[in-house]
A = this chain, B = another copy of it.
Amino acid sequence: MTSDLIKGIQSRERISIARAISIIESENEVSREILSAIFPFTGKAYRIGITGPPGSGKSSLTDKIIKSFRNQNKTVAVIGVDPSSPFTGGALLGDRIRMLNHHKDAGVFIRSMASRGGQGGLAQSTREVGDVFDAAGYDVILFETVGVGQVELDVIQATDTVFVVLVPESGDEIQMMKAGLMEIADVFVINKADREGANKLAITLKNLLSVLPNNPDVWKPKVVKTIAIQNDGIDELVQASEEHRKHIISTGHHHRKLKQRYIRKIKELIVSKFELEFWNDENQKILDKEIAKDRQKRLSPYQLVQKLHQED
């Protein structure tokens, strides 16, 4: 049963891929089996993260990036990540509709992932769905997220190349972003670049980037201007991403990143198995009893941990 599914994934059958994704989303035992079985076939896809504020035109841009890769005869999978929030509520999912453009193209697979409660889970299952596409042989996987929440950072940091999408009016946002998005961008995209301020923003960004050391081993983020709805600048953007890819491969950075992802996955699995076992009824009862006390009467966290270990 599972082996049929794995074969289906490897022959890039849409129905098998869709089933595997559903299983991963439901997080049952089978999901681990599938992920384990496909592991040897992963690690080949090129993963690009696309992030930026709502209204920056990420969806049109993604649409055109798909086309550009398709023109190179590369297959593309797209994962839209939408941590549900009272403020963004579903905007991203709505945008996805525009991508129906590609629904007849067997070389493109588009999938949205929405959060249902556990947000740690969303970033993890997004990475796992990426592995399914990877094993299915998609050449490029695009991860599209909104903004800079923790889930988005988790998703984005597990990609090879990150596009941060801005608009000419974003000048002020740069300040805001300094501590957040600046660090993660490999390519800055100034979209809607026919609007006023595009050049000024490009200069601001280049000035900010000039503080980075001049070292061939350190990637200097590129700044690319696009007008997505006119398909302007898209090939340059895709080329910039490929330069970045070459850079991380030739410097060994890509290799190290894949290693780190492997180690991280191992450590996550080890910890989650341990926590599941540790927090059995007995230990949970000890914790519950302590919490029920007035705070001042509780054991300190350090004392309680000692007690929990003695019970073991």
Indicate whether A175 sits within 8 Å of B53 (C-beta atoms), given known contacts A274-B271, A301-B266, A305-B266: yes
In Å, the complex CA distance between A182 and B87 comes to 8
User: Is A103 part of the binding interface, using a Cβ–Cβ cutoff of 8 Å?
Assistant: no
Asked if B88 contacts A179 (CB within 8 A), the reply is: yes
Q: 1/0 contact trace for A123-167 toward B, CB 8 Å?
A: 000000000000000000000001111101100000000000000
Indicate whether A291 sits within 8 Å of B309 (C-beta atoms), given known contacts A36-B303, A153-B150, A269-B302: no
B residues less than 8 Å from A265 (CB atoms)? 301
Indicate whether A180 sits within 8 Å of B266 (C-beta atoms), given known contacts A211-B86, A300-B36, A301-B39: no
User: Is A8 part of the binding interface, using a Cβ–Cβ cutoff of 8 Å?
Assistant: no
In Å, the complex CA distance between A149 and B150 comes to 8
Of the candidate stretches A10-18, A230-238, A243-251, A255-263, the one touching chain B is A255-263
In Å, the complex CA distance between A183 and B150 comes to 12
In Å, the complex CA distance between A149 and B182 comes to 10
Which residue of A55, A85, A88, A300 has the most chain B CB atoms within 10 A of its CB atom?
Answer: A300
User: Is A275 part of the binding interface, using a Cβ–Cβ cutoff of 8 Å?
Assistant: yes
Asked if A53 contacts B208 (CB within 8 A), the reply is: no
Q: Please report which residues of chain A, range 283-312, place their CB below 8 angstroms from some CB of chain B when the two chains form the complex.
A: 287, 291, 295-296, 298, 300-305, 308-309
Contact of A85 (CB < 8 Å), options: B83, B150, B175, B183: B183
B residues less than 8 Å from A263 (CB atoms)? 287, 291
Asked if A180 contacts B149 (CB within 8 A), the reply is: yes
Contact of A86 (CB < 8 Å), options: B35, B212, B298: B212
Give the nearest-CB partner of A278 in chain B.
B270
In Å, the complex CA distance between A170 and B198 comes to 18
B residues less than 8 Å from A55 (CB atoms)? 175
Asked if A178 contacts B266 (CB within 8 A), the reply is: no
B residues less than 8 Å from A35 (CB atoms)? 300-302
Asked if A83 contacts B274 (CB within 8 A), the reply is: no
Asked if A302 contacts B87 (CB within 8 A), the reply is: no
B residues less than 8 Å from A105 (CB atoms)? none
- Chain A residues within CB distance 8 Å of chain B: 32, 35-37, 39-40, 43, 53-55, 83, 85-89, 146-150, 152-153, 169-170, 172-173, 175-180, 182-183, 208, 211-212, 258-259, 262-263, 265-267, 269-271, 273-275, 278, 287, 291, 295-296, 298, 300-305, 308-309
CB-defined A-B contacts under 8 Å, sample of 6:
A149-B179, A173-B176, A176-B176, A265-B301, A269-B305, A271-B275
Known contacts A169-B172, A263-B291, then 8 further A-B pairs from the complex at CB < 8 Å, ordered by chain A residue: A87-B182, A88-B179, A148-B176, A148-B179, A150-B150, A180-B180, A265-B301, A266-B308
